[in-house]
Structure 1
Amino acid sequence: DNMRLGINKNLGFSADDRKENIRRIGEISKLFADAGVLTLSSFISPYRGDRDLAREVHDNDDMAFLEVYVECALDEAEKRDPKGLYKKARAGEIKNFTGIDDPYEEPLNPEIHLHSDTMSLEEEVEMIIQALEQRGLLSGA
């Protein structure tokens, strides 16, 4: 949401705009990584090719990139929807809505696979921390 309020406010939700949204976020994340800042970026990226491009931006400069797939059953995601966006999408008020009238291409080999509909937040955080520590990106406290 924050990216779309600022640097990406000119983008909609078409496939091309989603691709550009992810490209910009990937480039900004790379700038932080280049400055030595561990960056966790959270965004809906429904197309595998766009996620691959974000990875490539980092890989080209030998920077770490970990794909975290936060999987959640559609019915559970709809129950958690504080903005009512799924309801609007089902009513046809929002077009190109991921999971409703636009596809989501699941990652093939994410470094971390979370199941937010069956795992606690604490379990998910622990998995992420362990993965970062195992790769030397975060030292244990």
Structure 2
Amino acid sequence: MKTVAQTLAATAEIHSISPDATVFEAITRLAKKNVEALISQELGQLVGIVIERDYARKLVLLGRASVATPVRDIMSTPVITVTPKETTKCCMQLMTQGHMRDLPVVEDDKLIGVVSIGDLVKDVISEQHDLIEQLQKYIWRE
């Protein structure tokens, strides 16, 4: 089973936003970067995560204006995080239980990356493919 550190080696940059930015800025950045979540940091510390679901449920459904609402008002906090030593399986369990698609990765109180459910599913598929190949080679040797 792969670790988060191995998964992070293949993932892209961290997309973040200030908690004082407007929700409009956050939604614009989500669309521009084609991601589902932005990490909110303040003074280098992880303070929240804002996802498209937060926008829909905490802003649109309440009739609030995205240009006048700060990210801090809709972001999810506290944020569930993992360390680089966690396994893919552990992350998938956390994400399933918490209905999450993105997990920030923290080491020594510093954000070092974010793994998505897509990243983890790719890892599982890759591991299953490798296992199938090994089993086929073993079967055909006999």
Q: Identify the structure with bigger relative contact order (alpha carbons < 8 Å, sequence gap 6+).
A: 2
* Both proteins in one fold, TM over 0.5: no
For normalisation by structure 1, the TM-score amounts to: 0.26
Question: Bigger radius of gyration, 1 or 2?
Answer: 2
Structure number having the greater strand percentage = 2
